[in-house]
Amino acid sequence: MATQSQKVPVVTVILVHGAWADGSSWNEVIARLQAEGIPVVSVQNPLSSLADDVAAVQRAMELVDGPVVLVGHSWGGTVITQAGASGRVRALVYIAAFAPDRNESTNSLQARHPVPEYAALLRADSAGYLHFPADALPHYFAQDLPAANAMVLAATQGPIRASAFDDAVTEAAWHEIPSWYLVTDHDRMISPQLQREMAQRIGARTREVPASHVPFASRPKETTAIILEAVAEVAR
Protein backbone atom coordinates (compact mmCIF):
# COMPACT_ATOMS: atom_id res chain seq x y z
CA MET A 1 0.00 0.00 0.00
CA ALA A 2 1.42 3.40 -0.99
CA THR A 3 2.30 5.79 1.79
CA GLN A 4 0.85 9.28 1.97
CA SER A 5 4.22 10.77 0.94
CA GLN A 6 4.15 8.58 -2.18
CA LYS A 7 0.62 9.60 -3.03
CA VAL A 8 1.12 13.34 -2.67
CA PRO A 9 4.30 14.80 -4.20
CA VAL A 10 6.11 17.47 -2.24
CA VAL A 11 5.85 20.62 -4.35
CA THR A 12 8.49 23.31 -3.94
CA VAL A 13 7.69 26.93 -4.72
CA ILE A 14 10.53 28.94 -6.23
CA LEU A 15 10.01 32.71 -6.12
CA VAL A 16 11.69 34.90 -8.75
CA HIS A 17 11.84 38.63 -8.10
CA GLY A 18 11.85 41.35 -10.72
CA ALA A 19 13.85 44.49 -11.41
CA TRP A 20 14.42 46.96 -8.56
CA ALA A 21 13.71 44.25 -5.99
CA ASP A 22 15.52 41.37 -4.36
CA GLY A 23 14.68 38.00 -2.84
CA SER A 24 13.66 39.52 0.48
CA SER A 25 10.75 41.34 -1.16
CA TRP A 26 8.82 38.04 -0.93
CA ASN A 27 9.19 37.78 2.86
CA GLU A 28 5.49 38.09 3.70
CA VAL A 29 4.58 35.41 1.16
CA ILE A 30 7.44 33.16 2.22
CA ALA A 31 6.20 33.16 5.81
CA ARG A 32 2.66 32.32 4.74
CA LEU A 33 3.78 29.47 2.46
CA GLN A 34 6.00 28.04 5.19
CA ALA A 35 3.09 28.19 7.62
CA GLU A 36 1.21 25.97 5.17
CA GLY A 37 4.11 23.50 5.13
CA ILE A 38 5.16 24.40 1.58
CA PRO A 39 8.91 24.27 0.84
CA VAL A 40 9.93 27.59 -0.67
CA VAL A 41 13.08 29.14 -2.14
CA SER A 42 13.50 32.81 -3.03
CA VAL A 43 16.08 33.27 -5.78
CA GLN A 44 18.53 36.18 -5.75
CA ASN A 45 18.67 37.23 -9.40
CA PRO A 46 21.87 38.93 -10.58
CA LEU A 47 19.69 41.04 -12.93
CA SER A 48 22.57 41.14 -15.41
CA SER A 49 20.88 39.35 -18.31
CA LEU A 50 18.05 36.95 -19.03
CA ALA A 51 20.51 34.08 -19.35
CA ASP A 52 22.13 34.86 -16.00
CA ASP A 53 18.80 35.09 -14.19
CA VAL A 54 17.54 31.87 -15.78
CA ALA A 55 20.77 30.18 -14.67
CA ALA A 56 20.15 31.37 -11.10
CA VAL A 57 16.69 29.78 -11.17
CA GLN A 58 18.09 26.56 -12.63
CA ARG A 59 20.67 26.35 -9.85
CA ALA A 60 17.91 26.76 -7.29
CA MET A 61 15.96 23.93 -8.90
CA GLU A 62 19.01 21.66 -8.74
CA LEU A 63 18.92 21.79 -4.95
CA VAL A 64 15.30 20.70 -4.46
CA ASP A 65 13.53 17.42 -5.09
CA GLY A 66 10.18 16.83 -6.73
CA PRO A 67 7.95 19.08 -8.80
CA VAL A 68 8.37 22.83 -8.85
CA VAL A 69 5.99 25.79 -9.13
CA LEU A 70 7.79 28.86 -10.48
CA VAL A 71 6.45 32.25 -9.38
CA GLY A 72 7.68 35.38 -11.16
CA HIS A 73 7.10 39.04 -10.45
CA SER A 74 7.45 41.73 -13.14
CA TRP A 75 10.74 41.03 -15.01
CA GLY A 76 10.73 37.70 -13.16
CA GLY A 77 7.85 36.66 -15.40
CA THR A 78 10.17 36.79 -18.40
CA VAL A 79 12.67 34.70 -16.44
CA ILE A 80 10.20 31.95 -15.46
CA THR A 81 8.82 31.83 -19.00
CA GLN A 82 12.26 30.67 -20.15
CA ALA A 83 13.32 28.74 -17.03
CA GLY A 84 10.01 26.90 -16.91
CA ALA A 85 10.95 24.83 -19.95
CA SER A 86 12.06 22.01 -17.66
CA GLY A 87 10.43 18.73 -16.81
CA ARG A 88 10.67 19.71 -13.16
CA VAL A 89 8.38 22.72 -13.51
CA ARG A 90 4.69 21.87 -13.36
CA ALA A 91 3.09 25.33 -13.09
CA LEU A 92 3.85 29.00 -13.60
CA VAL A 93 2.43 31.83 -11.51
CA TYR A 94 2.77 35.37 -12.85
CA ILE A 95 2.45 38.17 -10.29
CA ALA A 96 2.00 41.47 -12.18
CA ALA A 97 4.57 40.00 -14.55
CA PHE A 98 5.69 39.95 -18.15
CA ALA A 99 4.76 36.79 -20.06
CA PRO A 100 6.52 36.84 -23.44
CA ASP A 101 6.16 34.35 -26.24
CA ARG A 102 9.09 32.81 -28.10
CA ASN A 103 11.37 35.42 -29.68
CA GLU A 104 9.79 38.22 -27.65
CA SER A 105 11.59 40.39 -25.11
CA THR A 106 10.32 42.38 -22.18
CA ASN A 107 10.76 45.59 -24.15
CA SER A 108 8.85 44.26 -27.14
CA LEU A 109 5.91 43.43 -24.88
CA GLN A 110 6.00 46.84 -23.22
CA ALA A 111 6.17 48.54 -26.64
CA ARG A 112 2.53 47.61 -27.24
CA HIS A 113 1.55 50.24 -24.69
CA PRO A 114 2.65 53.81 -23.94
CA VAL A 115 6.04 54.25 -22.30
CA PRO A 116 5.50 54.22 -18.52
CA GLU A 117 5.99 57.58 -16.81
CA TYR A 118 8.62 56.20 -14.44
CA ALA A 119 10.98 55.26 -17.31
CA ALA A 120 12.24 58.83 -17.70
CA LEU A 121 13.38 58.84 -14.06
CA LEU A 122 15.71 55.84 -14.24
CA ARG A 123 19.43 56.49 -13.96
CA ALA A 124 22.09 54.31 -15.58
CA ASP A 125 25.48 53.72 -13.98
CA SER A 126 28.75 53.21 -15.85
CA ALA A 127 28.05 49.49 -16.30
CA GLY A 128 24.62 50.07 -17.82
CA TYR A 129 22.55 49.13 -14.78
CA LEU A 130 19.34 51.08 -14.24
CA HIS A 131 18.66 52.49 -10.78
CA PHE A 132 15.29 53.75 -9.54
CA PRO A 133 15.61 57.03 -7.59
CA ALA A 134 14.82 56.20 -3.98
CA ASP A 135 12.51 59.18 -3.55
CA ALA A 136 10.43 58.20 -6.60
CA LEU A 137 10.21 54.43 -6.15
CA PRO A 138 7.48 54.49 -3.47
CA HIS A 139 5.11 56.50 -5.69
CA TYR A 140 5.43 54.28 -8.75
CA PHE A 141 6.33 50.92 -7.26
CA ALA A 142 4.57 50.66 -3.91
CA GLN A 143 2.07 53.45 -3.37
CA ASP A 144 -0.17 51.25 -1.21
CA LEU A 145 2.53 50.47 1.36
CA PRO A 146 3.29 52.57 4.44
CA ALA A 147 5.99 55.07 3.53
CA ALA A 148 8.57 53.42 5.78
CA ASN A 149 8.04 50.02 4.14
CA ALA A 150 8.23 51.50 0.65
CA MET A 151 11.50 53.21 1.51
CA VAL A 152 12.95 49.87 2.61
CA LEU A 153 12.14 48.52 -0.85
CA ALA A 154 13.89 51.53 -2.36
CA ALA A 155 16.98 50.94 -0.22
CA THR A 156 17.19 47.23 -1.05
CA GLN A 157 16.36 47.51 -4.77
CA GLY A 158 18.34 45.47 -7.25
CA PRO A 159 19.35 47.55 -10.28
CA ILE A 160 18.97 45.77 -13.60
CA ARG A 161 21.20 45.99 -16.66
CA ALA A 162 19.21 47.87 -19.29
CA SER A 163 20.14 45.43 -22.06
CA ALA A 164 18.37 42.59 -20.22
CA PHE A 165 15.03 44.02 -21.25
CA ASP A 166 15.96 43.38 -24.88
CA ASP A 167 16.88 39.72 -24.27
CA ALA A 168 14.31 37.55 -26.05
CA VAL A 169 13.12 34.22 -24.70
CA THR A 170 13.71 31.15 -26.86
CA GLU A 171 11.22 29.04 -24.91
CA ALA A 172 7.76 29.91 -23.62
CA ALA A 173 6.89 27.35 -20.99
CA TRP A 174 3.30 28.52 -20.67
CA HIS A 175 2.53 26.76 -23.97
CA GLU A 176 3.10 23.42 -22.27
CA ILE A 177 2.22 23.83 -18.59
CA PRO A 178 -0.66 25.51 -16.72
CA SER A 179 -0.31 29.10 -15.62
CA TRP A 180 -1.90 31.52 -13.19
CA TYR A 181 -1.83 35.32 -13.30
CA LEU A 182 -2.46 37.92 -10.59
CA VAL A 183 -3.39 41.27 -12.16
CA THR A 184 -2.74 44.35 -10.01
CA ASP A 185 -5.45 46.91 -10.76
CA HIS A 186 -3.57 49.96 -9.38
CA ASP A 187 -0.23 49.17 -10.98
CA ARG A 188 1.90 52.15 -12.12
CA MET A 189 4.75 50.02 -13.50
CA ILE A 190 3.02 47.55 -15.86
CA SER A 191 -0.40 48.76 -16.95
CA PRO A 192 -3.28 46.57 -15.77
CA GLN A 193 -4.54 46.42 -19.35
CA LEU A 194 -1.24 44.96 -20.57
CA GLN A 195 -1.35 42.48 -17.70
CA ARG A 196 -4.84 41.38 -18.69
CA GLU A 197 -3.78 41.01 -22.34
CA MET A 198 -0.84 38.81 -21.39
CA ALA A 199 -2.91 36.72 -18.99
CA GLN A 200 -5.53 36.11 -21.66
CA ARG A 201 -2.97 35.24 -24.32
CA ILE A 202 -1.29 32.60 -22.18
CA GLY A 203 -4.61 31.13 -21.05
CA ALA A 204 -3.87 31.79 -17.39
CA ARG A 205 -6.30 31.30 -14.55
CA THR A 206 -6.57 34.94 -13.60
CA ARG A 207 -7.39 36.86 -10.46
CA GLU A 208 -7.34 40.61 -9.91
CA VAL A 209 -6.44 42.51 -6.77
CA PRO A 210 -6.67 46.26 -6.00
CA ALA A 211 -2.95 46.66 -5.42
CA SER A 212 0.20 48.41 -6.57
CA HIS A 213 3.04 46.66 -8.36
CA VAL A 214 4.04 44.84 -5.16
CA PRO A 215 1.03 42.77 -4.05
CA PHE A 216 3.35 40.31 -2.29
CA ALA A 217 4.00 43.14 0.19
CA SER A 218 0.67 44.99 0.22
CA ARG A 219 -1.66 42.03 -0.42
CA PRO A 220 0.30 38.98 0.74
CA LYS A 221 -2.84 36.98 1.57
CA GLU A 222 -4.18 37.21 -1.98
CA THR A 223 -0.75 36.65 -3.50
CA THR A 224 -0.21 33.53 -1.41
CA ALA A 225 -3.68 32.26 -2.26
CA ILE A 226 -3.06 32.14 -6.00
CA ILE A 227 0.27 30.38 -5.44
CA LEU A 228 -1.41 27.82 -3.19
CA GLU A 229 -4.00 27.23 -5.89
CA ALA A 230 -1.24 26.29 -8.32
CA VAL A 231 0.48 24.10 -5.73
CA ALA A 232 -2.77 22.23 -5.01
CA GLU A 233 -3.27 21.59 -8.72
CA VAL A 234 0.24 20.17 -9.10
CA ALA A 235 -0.07 18.02 -5.98
CA ARG A 236 -3.21 16.24 -7.18
Looking at residue 227, which CATH number applies to its domain?
Answer: 3.40.50.1820
Q: Averaged over 16-37, what is the pLDDT?
A: 97
Domains: count for the chain: 1
Q: Averaged over 42-52, what is the pLDDT?
A: 98
Look up the domain containing 133 and give its range. Answer: 4-235
As to burial, measured by CB atoms within 10 angstroms (0-12 exposed, 13-18 middle, 19+ buried), residue 103 is exposed
Alpha carbon distance 96, 187 (integer Å) = 8
Question: For residue range 56-109, what is the model confidence (pLDDT) as tens digits?
Answer: 999 999 999 999 999 999 999 999 999 999 889 999 999 999 999 999 999 999
Q: 84 and 77 in contact (C-beta within 8 Å)? A: no
Q: Using pLDDT thresholds of 50, 70 and 90, give the confidence band for residue 4.
A: very low
Residue 8 in this model has a pLDDT that exceeds 80: no
Question: For residue range 124-147, what is the model confidence (pLDDT) as tens digits?
Answer: 999 999 999 999 999 999 999 999
Q: Using pLDDT thresholds of 50, 70 and 90, give the confidence band for residue 112.
A: confident
Alpha carbon distance 180, 50 (integer Å) = 21
**Dihedral pair phi/psi, residue 208, rounded to 5°:** -125, 150
